Chain A
Amino acid sequence: MADLTTDFLGITSPNPFWLASAPPTDKEYNVRRAFEAGWGGVVWKTLGEEGPPVVNVNGPRYGVVHGADRRVLGINNIELITDRPLETNLEEMARVKADYPDRALIASIMVPCDEASWKAILPRVAETGCDGIELNFGCPHGMSERGMGSAVGQVPEYIEMVTRWCKQYYDKPVIVKLTPNITDIRKPAAAAKNGGADAVSLINTINSITSVDLDNFAPEPTIDGKGSHGGYCGPAVKPIALSMVSEIARSQDTQGLPISGIGGVTTWRDAAEFMVLGCGNVQVCTAAMTYGFRIVEEMKRGLSQWMDEKGYRSTSEFIGKAVPNVTDWQYLNLNYVTKAKIDQDACIKCGRCYAACEDTSHQAIWMKEGRVFEVNDAECVACNLCIDVCPVEECITMERMEAGSTDPRTGKTVSDDYANWTTHPNNPMAKAAE
C-alpha cells in the first residue's frame, strides 16, 4: 500500500485529506472524531475576533441541489464563522493538537481588515501550537457585508496587505483562502504571493441560490419568507475549482506557489485530479457533511490503490503532473483529427446520440433501418456530444484518423504535424509558418 504521507509547507500529515474550515471542524468533539476516523488534517472552523461571537440564523442555513435518488450534487450555506467564543476554540485547539501531534491542525481566521485586529489574534492562535493559519478571504455571505471574507478576497491589494501583516506577526505557514467570486483568480493568488503567503487554498464557496420555492416565491433556504444568496459547494463546483487551480498552477506570476485544493472533493479520484493539477493536498467538506467522517477511508484506500497501480511511492511524485498539459486554446493541435465510432454490439439503440447530433450538433449520425445508428464521417466534427450523452460506457469512442488518410469532412489529408491557431491561415494575427 502506497505511503500517503504528505508534506505541505513543511507540515506533514499521514495523508493529503484535510477537512476544510466549515461546520464539521467547529469544535473539539468533531475534530477528535475526525482524526480518529483517519483524516490527515483539519482546518478549524474560522475564528473571529475576541468579544461577543457572531450569531447565526435560527432558520435553515443550508440549501441543496439533488440529483437522482436525492443524491447531493451541491449544497449552499449561509452559516457564518464560528459562533462560539474565541477563548473556547483556542483552548480546544490546543488540547486537540497536543493529543494528535502527527495530524495537521490549521487555524482559519477572519477578523476586521485592520492591522491591530490581526496583530491581536495571531499570537493567541500561535499559543495553541497549531501548524499554520488560513486566512478566510472567501466567505461570500454575511461576513462579507461587514467588510470581511470575500469582501477582502475580491480586492487583491487588501489580500496582499493582510497577508503581509500575518507574515509579520506570525511565524508558521500562512495559507490564503481565495474566493471564486471574482473574474480572474490569478490576481488574488498573485497578491497573496506578493504578500508573502506560503500557499493559497481554493476555492471557497460560490455565490448561489439553490432553488426558489414556487409557492412562496422565495429563495431556498427560506428564512421567514426571505432568502439571501449562500455559498455553493459540493460535487457541482468541482469543475470550476479545477480550472481555477490550474490557472494558478500554470500562471507565470504564481507558478510554484503551493496550493491546497478545495471544491467538491468526494472520492480519491477527485483528490488525485486536484493534485495532478498542482495541489499539494486537498480539503474536503461537503462529502463529509453528506456521508460522515468515514468517507475518508475510501479516499485513502482509493488513492493508495491508484498510486500502487501507477508505481508512485509518494504523493510528491504526481503532484502537478498534469499542469504542463493545461494550455490555451490557441495552442491546441488543429491537425489532431478524430471521428466518433459507435460499437454496434454495445449499442442499446436508445438514439440519444442521434437526437443530440441531429437536433443540436452537426447532423453526423444516421438512423438506419432497425434503429442502427452510424456516424457519417463526412459530417462528424468530433465534438464528443454523442459520447457525453450515450448511456453506455465505451459504446462510442473517438478514433484518431491516421496521418495520410483523407478527412471526408474537409477533403484534406490528415497530417501528423502539430499545427495550431497561431499559425493557421485563417488567423489574421497568424505568424508565418516556419
Chain B
Amino acid sequence: MTSPQTPGIQSGRLSQDQLARNFEDLHTPYDAHEAAVAADRCYFCHDAPCVTACPTEIDIPLFIRQIATGQPEAAAKTIFEQNILGGMCARVCPTETLCEEACVRETAEGKPVEIGRLQRYSTDALMSRQGHPFARAPETGKRVAVVGAGPAGLSCAHRLAMKGHAVTIYEARPKPGGLNEFGIAAYKTVDGYAAREVDWLMGIGGISIEYGSALGVEVSLDGLRENFDAVFLGVGLAGVNLLELEGGEKSGVEDAVHFISDLRQSADLAALPVGRNVVVIGGGMTAVDAAVQSKLLGAESVTLAYRRAREEMPASGFEQDLAASKGVRLMFNVMPVAMHGNGAVREIELEYTALVDGKLQGTGETTRLPADQVFRAIGQTLAPVDGLDLEGRKLRVTDTGRTSVAGVWAGGDCTPGEDLTVVAVAEGRDAAEDIHATLMAAAG
C-alpha cells in the first residue's frame, strides 16, 4: 500500500479520511455568541488604523459594531460596499500583516480583534440567507469589456454593472475566479466557495462571461477597444519565472502554481500524486501553499528553501508558523544550484547564501537534499500586452488604473503593487469608478 514513505511521485499516500481532515477549513467559522464576544473587543477607534491598513478601506469598526448589535447581515453590506469579494478576503487576506497588525489591541496585548473571522462571519451570514444585496442602476447603454475573471476583473465588473453599464468578461480559463479558484490553498476556501462567490456576485445582473477567451489569442485589445466603450485588463500574471540551473529540466521539477491549481480542481485528492521528498523553492504565499499542501497530501518530508533570511520572507509570520506546524521544514539562506538524478530528479543541491555588502551571494558551501519533486515558486510574470507601457515588469497605470492607452484601464497583479486579492479588488473597484466617471462625462 502506498504510504508517505513510498518512493517517487505517488498518489494515495493517505487515507480518504485523513485527507478530508487535512483539508478542512483552516479557521473554523464563529458561531453567533463567539462573534458577539469577539466583536465586543473592538474599541471603535477614531480614524481607525485597521481601516487605513485595509487596501479596500472597509469601515471595520462600523461593521464590527453592527455584528455586536446583532445585525451581521447589515455588517456584511458595509463590507461589500467597499469590497464585493469581502467573503474571499475574509478567508485569504494576510490579516496579520494588514488590518489585524494595525489593530490597537495587537499593540496593547498582542491579540488583535479577529477582524478576518468577524468579516467571514458577517459575509457568510448575508450570503447564506439573502439574494444579492445591491440593486443595479438603470442601464446606461455603455458597454465595457473586462479581461480576466479574477478578483480585479470581478470587482471592476461588479461595480460597473451596479452603475448600469453592460459588462462582458473575457476569461481564458473555463471557470471564473482567477487565483481565488486556481491559486489559493484548498483549506483557505473550502466547499467550492470561490465558485459560489462568483455566482453570488453575478446576481447584480448585467455581466456576462465568455470563457476560453485569452487576450492575444481569442480576443485582441484592438478588437475590444473597437467594440466596447472601455476596456479593463485584469489579466494577472500568466507567465512563470524560470529557474535556470543545471538539471532544471528533469522530470519532477514543476511549477508550484500548476500543482496548486491541479489540487484545487481535483475531485479526488487521493488520486493526486505527490513526491515522498518535496522541496519548494521560494518564500511567498504560493511557496507556502504548495509546501503545506504537499505535506497534507502525504509527502514524508517537505522543505521550503528560501534564499534570504527569515525576516525577509514575503510569506507572513502566520504563514511560516502554519507551515512549521504542519511539519514543513523551513530553510533560509539557501539557493538551488543543481538538480541531480537520472532523468527524474532525485536530489537537489542547495548553496548557502549570505549578504555581502548588501548583496546576496553564495558562500560556496552546498548541501544536498533528497527530492523526487521540486516546486518552483519564485514568482509569476506578466505575459506581454502589445502597445501598453510597462513600469518595471508590470503595466504602468495611474492611481485610478488608466494605462498608457486611452480607454484602457488595468488592475490587479498585472499592475504594480502588492499581489493580493484585496489589492486587486480595490484596483478593480477604483478603475470602475473612473471608467464610470469618464463614460458619463463623455455622454454629457
Q: Which residues of A contact B (CB under 8 A)?
A: 68-70, 348-352, 354-355, 367, 371, 391-392
Contacts and interface: CB of A to CB of B under 8 A. Distances in A.
9 closest Cβ pairs, A-B complex: A351-B46, A355-B46, A68-B40, A348-B108, A348-B104, A350-B45, A350-B104, A348-B107, A350-B43
Contacts of B37: 68-69
A352 B37 CA distance: 20
A185 to B, nearest CB: 35
Contact of A348 (B36, B46, B105): B105
Contacts of B47: 351, 367, 371
Interface in B181-208: none
- Interface size class, chain B: 10 to 19
Most buried by B among A351, A354, A367: A351
B45 A392 contact: no
B40 A349 contact: no
A71 to B, nearest CB: 10
A69 B40 contact: yes
Contacts, number: 36
5 contacts: A69-B36, A350-B43, A352-B44, A354-B46, A391-B108
A319 B27 CA distance: 54
Contacts of B362: none
A349 B107 contact: yes
Interface string B273-288: 0000000000000000
Interface string B11-37: 000000000000000000000010011
A180 to B, nearest CB: 30
Which of A69, A350, A354: most chain B Cβ within 10 A? Answer: A350
A69 B44 CA distance: 17
A70 B37 CA distance: 9
B35 to A, nearest CB: 12
A20 to B, nearest CB: 30
Contacts of A68: 36-37, 40
B44 A349 contact: no
A70 B40 CA distance: 11
B40 to A, nearest CB: 4
A352 B45 CA distance: 6
A349 B49 CA distance: 9
A182 B419 CA distance: 66
B45 A351 contact: yes
A355 B104 CA distance: 15
Interface string B301-344: 00000000000000000000000000000000000000000000
A206 B355 CA distance: 73
Contacts of A355: 46
A352 B46 contact: yes
Interface of B: 33, 36-37, 40, 43-49, 104-105, 107-108
A70 B70 CA distance: 13
A351 B37 CA distance: 22
A391 B41 CA distance: 10
Given A69-B40, A352-B44, A371 B49 contact: yes
B153 to A, nearest CB: 36
Contact of A350 (B33, B40, B46): B46
A391 B43 contact: yes
A352 B61 CA distance: 12
Contacts of A351: 45-48
A371 B37 CA distance: 27
Contacts of B48: 351
A69 B36 CA distance: 7
- Output the residue of B37, B105, B108 with the most chain A CB within 10 A: B108
Contacts of B45: 349-352
Given A68-B37, A351-B46, 8 more contacts: A69-B37, A349-B49, A349-B104, A351-B45, A351-B47, A352-B43, A352-B45, A371-B47
Contacts of B40: 68-69
B38 to A, nearest CB: 10
A325 B46 CA distance: 37
Contacts of A391: 43, 108
A351 B52 CA distance: 14
Contacts of B44: 352
A70 B46 CA distance: 26
A352 B49 CA distance: 12
Determine which residue in B37, B43, B107 has the highest number of CB atoms from chain A within 10 A of its CB, and name it.
B43
A392 B46 contact: no
Contacts of B49: 349, 371
A371 B48 CA distance: 10
Contacts of B108: 348, 391-392
A425 B424 CA distance: 66
Contacts of B105: 348
A351 B47 CA distance: 7
B130 to A, nearest CB: 19
A347 to B, nearest CB: 9
B227 to A, nearest CB: 49
B96 to A, nearest CB: 18
Contacts of B43: 350, 352, 391
A68 B36 CA distance: 8
Nearest to B42: A350
A393 to B, nearest CB: 11
B103 to A, nearest CB: 9
A129 B44 CA distance: 58
A345 to B, nearest CB: 11
B50 to A, nearest CB: 11
A367 B37 CA distance: 30
A355 to B, nearest CB: 4
Contacts of B104: 348-350
Nearest to B105: A348
Nearest to A355: B46
A355 B43 CA distance: 12
Contacts of A371: 47, 49
A70 B68 CA distance: 12
Nearest to A373: B46
Greatest chain A CB density within 10 A among B37, B45, B46, B105 is at B46
B108 to A, nearest CB: 4
Nearest to B107: A348
A344 to B, nearest CB: 12
A367 B47 CA distance: 10
Contacts of A352: 43-46
A70 B34 CA distance: 11
A69 B35 CA distance: 10
B43 to A, nearest CB: 5
B324 to A, nearest CB: 29
A163 B108 CA distance: 56
B101 to A, nearest CB: 13
A64 to B, nearest CB: 15
A392 B47 CA distance: 18
A350 B61 CA distance: 11
A11 to B, nearest CB: 43
B319 to A, nearest CB: 26
B46 A367 contact: yes
B352 to A, nearest CB: 40
